[in-house]
Structure 1
Amino acid sequence: MTNDTDTTATADPFADEGLFDMKPKASNLLRERYTEPPFSVLDRKGKAWQRRDKKWRALGIESELGRDDGLTFNMRMDFMHDQRHLRSAQESSQTSIFSPTLCELVYRWYSAPGHRVLDPFAGGSVRGVVAGAMARNYTGVELRAQQVEANRQQADIAGDVVPSWIAGDSAEVVPGLVADGYESDLVFSCPPYAYLEKYSDDPGDLSNMPYGDFLDAYRGIIRDACETLADNRFAAWVVGEVREKGGDGSCVGLVPDTIRAFQDAGLDLYNDHILLTPIGTAAVRTPRQFDASRKAGRIHEYLLVFVKGDAKKATIAANGDRPTTDLDEDVADHEAAGGDA
């Protein structure tokens, strides 16, 4: 017989606070250890990330120097609390700037101090400056001499380890590095997203090429860059998808084409971080394009990480002199220090 006063079956399982006692909160514990939690999704929009970007830029990094304005168009806007209406928008045309915090994470996670970094699509100064500040020996290859000169003017920001930039076409420069016996410990770059942004009028600039020609040149540069990479090392590549010109605007497949290019060069895909990017003008553009064609607003890129050789040995190399501790020990230390979030 059921006891009518027995409420065990209907008791609220959430009433037991101990049921969900997950102390300390993982996100800040991981942030203390890794700067940002090393999850498969990385959020550039987060306050901590934005604050860290500002601190890096406050050192004097001006990665936009050497580039013409208008490569991208950004809009800052204030949203009403119900997110249904837009208030006034402050519009400014400015170049896209690589996140220095993302550079820091790649260097911390996938390389060690003293390692040599090859960047075959250097662009602005930020990846080189951050590398130097973190005691990585950076070599960047950039097609535009104007950009290289602007980068070199910021080289002293890095401190004692001065980054190096080479003016020239990576399709020619990188094979020369291979022939000279240059060896890298990390290949790290962000290539042109095909024709999405036009960087110059140089016919050798990949951003001027039809996608088929772009892909042939792109694959060759990836192959040559990976040839410089030492065994048991990582390569990190920031890339996003683009839509075809003409036709119905379907995605061209730049991301899978990139993965195949690295695999054909002998590397394995190891991590595929999704990089959430600031929404910017997507909030304004998306309703029109989605209503007309069901094209979603793109607010993410990928940080693809590949490994050449043995991943465990590559991890040991990336750890350098840092001890590999058990996370449970860090949790105990965190609790003892009174950490909670």
Structure 2
Amino acid sequence: MTNNSTDRFADEGLFDMTPKASNLLRERYTEPPFTVLDRKGKAWQKRDKKWKALGIDSELGRDDGLTFNMRMDFMHDAKHLASAQASSQTSIFSPTLCELVYRWYSAPGHRVLDPFAGGSVRGVVAGAMARHYTGVELRAQQVEANRQQAHIAGDVEPRWVAGDSAAVMPELAADGYESDLVFSCPPYAFLEKYSDDPADLSNMPYGDFLDIYRDIIRGAAATLADDRFAAWVVGEVREKGGDGSCIGLVPDTIAAFRDAGLDLYNDHILLTPIGTAAVRTPRQFDASRKAGRIHEYLLVFVKGDARKATAAAAGDFPESALDEDLADAEAAERGTA
């Protein structure tokens, strides 16, 4: 990234966070681009803190108790409960994850569409990285709170639209809006309730949720330019009642994107901070062998040609001799050097 008026990495303590021309994966790519990404790592946690130090407050606009912490009413140990609540990061989106998605799957100047915007973090990080972000969020209260933080992004301020994505996506497409990256984290069906609005997907039975969810994915995909990526953070959910089997949100998401014309390209496993799982897991595992969930998925899809999409997203990485070194090593092994 070059130093210019849209480069927030040149100041605010972020100047040392830019990728370097290096053979070390973390220096070149911010985090090693493996299929497993570890949010619990010290480097990741330190980076999240640097981002949040800019003033990002993604909790603004949310009702009190809108996290998995409120699901622990069975616990009687106040000390452990307070500790678990303090450490829980379930509902707060990681700014470092945003940074990785923008670096790996888009380029400065690209337009980012987020159909389930939620809090401010994805928009603020996009603006700070010179991406033009449009986020759609059902709750007007959340949109107003996000807009109050838009200035944190610097010269490229994010844009939030208050409305139902099921209606807004077709409107954007009809107006000729075209995105270079679709990036979002949808409600995990009924796992968390975000509002009492009947149009809120988190209030719906899973069958109704899935119908509208598929429509929104189809609408977002319709705005995406050819030869571009879409990144989707999603986790599995257990059914209400019955034996608590998984409802299949992850495979249903993959199917929805495929039906919208995108192919699954990367399936990163995102290891999340343990938080309350340490105190929830023994009870549920002893009772029913339900394992404590400490991961989500970052699913990456491609529309069109993956190599062309990669070329379009190549703007953030410095030149490096890494590929040449690997080629030389492989040639030496084959005896053709």
The TM-score with structure 2 as length reference comes to 0.84
Question: Could you report, residue by residue, the CA deviation over 1:15-43 in whole angstroms, capped at 9, with x for unpaired residues?
Answer: xxxxxxxxxxxx98100000000000000
Q: Percent identity?
A: 86
Structure of higher RCO (CA pairs closer than 8 Å, 6+ residues apart)? 2
Q: Which amino acid aligns with 1:90?
A: S
CA distance in 1, matches of 2:321, 2:278: 43
Work out the CA distance in 1 between the residues paired with 2:292 and 2:84. 19
Contact between 1:74 and 1:280, CA under 8 Å: does it hold in 2? no
Aligned to 1:197: 192
Deviating beyond 4 angstroms after TM superposition, the runs of 4 or more aligned structure 1 residues are 86-89, 321-326, 328-331
With over 3 angstroms needed to count, the CA separation of the structure-2 counterparts of 1:74 and 1:54, relative to structure 1, is farther
Match of 1:90 among 83, 91, 102: 83
The residue type paired with residue 59 of structure 1 is L
SS at match of 2:124: helix
The alpha-carbon deviation at position 96 of structure 1 amounts to 1.6
Distance in 1 between residues matched to 2:316 and 2:142, nearest whole Å:
35
The alpha carbon displacement at 1:320 in A equals 3.0
Q: Alignment length, in residue pairs? A: 296
- 2:303 alignment counterpart: 308
Cα shift at 1:249? 0.4
Mapped partners of 1:149, 1:293: distance in 2 = 43
Q: Tell me the distance in 1 between the aligned counterparts of 2:232 and 2:323.
A: 31
Which stretches in structure 2 are left out of the alignment for 5+ residues?
1-21, 71-78, 327-337
Deviations 1:158-209 (A, max 9, x none): 0000000000000001100000000000000000000000000000000000
Q: Paired residue for 2:242, among 240, 243, 247?
A: 247
> 1:276-295, aligned counterparts within 5 Å?
276-295=271-290
Equivalent of 1:132 in 127, 130, 136: 127
Q: CA deviation at 1:327?
A: 1.6
Contact 1:42–1:276 (Cα < 8 Å) also in 2: yes
Partner of 1:68: 63
57 and 28 in structure 1: CA distance in 2 versus 1, 3 angstrom threshold: farther
Which protein has the larger Cα radius of gyration, Structure 1 or Structure 2? Answer: 1
Q: Does 1:224 align with 2:219?
A: yes
Asked if 1:47 corresponds to 2:65, the answer is no
In structure 2, give the amino acid aligned to 1:161: V
Contact 2:128/2:153, CA 8 A, preserved across alignment? yes
Q: Distance in 2 between matches of 1:126 and 1:28?
A: 30
Q: Which residue pairs with 2:13 in the alignment?
A: none
For 1:68 and 1:265, the matched residues in 2 are separated by: 34
- Normalized per residue, the structure richer in strand is 1
**Which residues of structure 1 form unaligned runs of 5+?**
1-26, 76-85, 332-341
